[in-house]
Structure 1
């Protein structure tokens, strides 16, 4: 009998959940394929980026929903690594207030992240940038070769199409492999000189991911069996970007039956901590940076001493007894420490597994959690108005 994410395959098909489960499970394969795509296109990417860098471009990552969190997840890392101004701005912000983000005289590299490439805001952002920015370069990072964005990439040497692996074009409602593939591609795009040294690292992340999918499922199912209706996801820096995506996945797949929030460990104290009640799960995704980790452990200590029936889940990349004794549930990933930008892939799997299995427990249909059409796989009903600024 075949199980996927701890659920019988036959049951998954019966409850309309097989597609999403399969797409979560196949991500390690997609990460290997994403690395291979970047490596195969290295010369073309280098030539394009070198031209853009000579113009001292400002880099803007953009997208809507989960696609906007791609930029949020890589932003802090790339700001540190690059001698360029890097920003992450959602298409949903650019479209409504383009003059706040697009500047005629500032050379700009717009990196449009999109699963389908068909959302109204993605198309409108590209058109606004082409209208408003004199010196514009564009990279279309998308999973759909037939989408609007992919088609817009042709016919100009200032545009480059970077297609993700074929199976990253998720057919389920929730973005899973599409998100993680675009995050990885965004990192590697600016590490082309280091691909050879990174190869073993990326393949190790994929191998660890496959272990997580089998070895951590029982603990995840213990968490999803708790009758808790609030989930908080905490992380610092790049991991905070991933925590945004974790919160959205649980909210989407449970159709709002689990209310979610994300924050940093330090930021959580400044008001957002008010959300905690006796039906709250707090997921703390710990940094591998020793300095950052001090602040995160301080919050764990604080919450562990407080009254109430909330449950704290500590997720650490490496074994750490000091964390283990402060939390109700403890997950360690691997013996080898990783930079936070790479540990977030393992953390993301944990979050997705929780979101999926909680959806199943609640009787939802994960492949289409909103069958009444309140929300859709590709957003509908957005009217784009002419901009005359």
Structure 2
């Protein structure tokens, strides 16, 4: 499908989503360039706040839906590879903060709120910033968004306590499901806060190489989609456990729930959720590049394969894996740490979702024709605190 002509893609309602998945490797290069242009301003903004406070700063990664899952991916990575002496990293969705602000916002703790947003117009995202300003004594805002005209970007204009970093123009996805917006915002946050992996050019070049390899292996992915299945599970550890939620959401969104999904950590899946697996289930495991975590990722896949309870059990890995079953291998000499590895890996899940959407007769660009689920959430009432 990824190389079908525009006429065919228009016919099946997949033109926008196909393009937005395919262009991500190019956008990652552009994202790195944008980061370099803004690096001095970002560094100064964060360093000045840290110096002014003279104590550890709480960094909350927040957003709604897919934008929240950015935090789920980067938080484990940055807890290990970020500046733990100066920052406490947390990932809290705006949807949690807005509905129970006193449970998540601490008045006396200096806080850098990092807001991720495709459109910047989600009511919860706007309200979270307002609540943080109301409840937190010392607050700063780093807004990473794809839409210069969105409310988050516009509201931050002229505000010395806020800094806006705009993503590539084409990352402002026009399709229903977030793809390039997710991966570009994730990459920007990693480049900003990862203090260990500073070989940015090498990392992004490897990501681009592997992202393009995903597109080149569409035929293999299609062979899995041709199987009889109506359930899909994604498993992983650390940052890749965080990625499982975004992976399953793409499938849920693009098939409008016609395929049932589940996600879990590699270790957690045995504790009840494994009951979800039956003979019409595809199980995907994201394999960590951490040699310790990789053992657990492979153990659960081997177990499910050995139980012979799933339609297929498939590993997604870089360069190699000890898993003996079916797999898709992406290769590069630069071994990516898991936070960065998540981005070529999510492209596999995106292609799975796209092809599955076509299989069940949906139009990926408009998978919810009833309008009950919207590209930008509607019907939210923000109550006065």
- The verdict on a shared fold, with TM-score over 0.5 as the criterion, is yes
Which residue in the other structure is 1:183 paired with? 186
- Output aligned runs, 1:233-312, within 5 Å: 233-312=234-313
The Cα of 1:194 is off from its aligned counterpart by 6.2
| Contact map agreement 2:140 2:162 (CA 8 A) in 1 | yes
Instruction: Show the 5 A alignment for 1:1-389.
Output: 4-54=1-51, 55=53, 56-80=56-80, 81-83=82-84, 84-191=87-194, 195=198, 197-214=199-216, 216-320=217-321, 322-323=322-323, 325=324, 327=325, 329-336=326-333, 337-387=335-385
TM-score normalised to structure 2 length = 0.95
Q: CA deviation at 1:205?
A: 1.1
CA contact (8 A) 1:234 1:285 kept: yes
For 2:196 and 2:235, the matched residues in 1 are separated by 32
1:220 is paired with a residue whose SS is: helix
1:87 Cα shift?
A: 0.6
How far, CA to CA, are the matches of 2:354 and 2:15 in structure 1?
11
Q: Secondary structure at the match of 1:160?
A: strand
Supply the distance in 1 between the matched residues of 2:237 and 2:365 (Cα, whole angstroms): 30
Q: CA deviation at 1:307?
A: 3.3
How far residue 344 of structure 1 moved from its aligned partner, in angstroms, is 1.1
Which stretch of structure 1 is more off in the superposition, 280-289 or 299-308? 299-308
CA shift, 1:289, in A, is: 1.1
Count of aligned residue pairs for this structure pair: 378
Quick check: 1:289–1:340 contact (8 Å CA) kept in 2? yes
Deviations 1:37-86 (A, max 9, x none): 11011111111010122223200010000000001100011112222111
Seen in structure 2, the aligned counterparts of structure 1 residues 253 and 168 have a Cα distance that, compared at 3 Å, is same
The TM-score with structure 1 as length reference comes to: 0.94
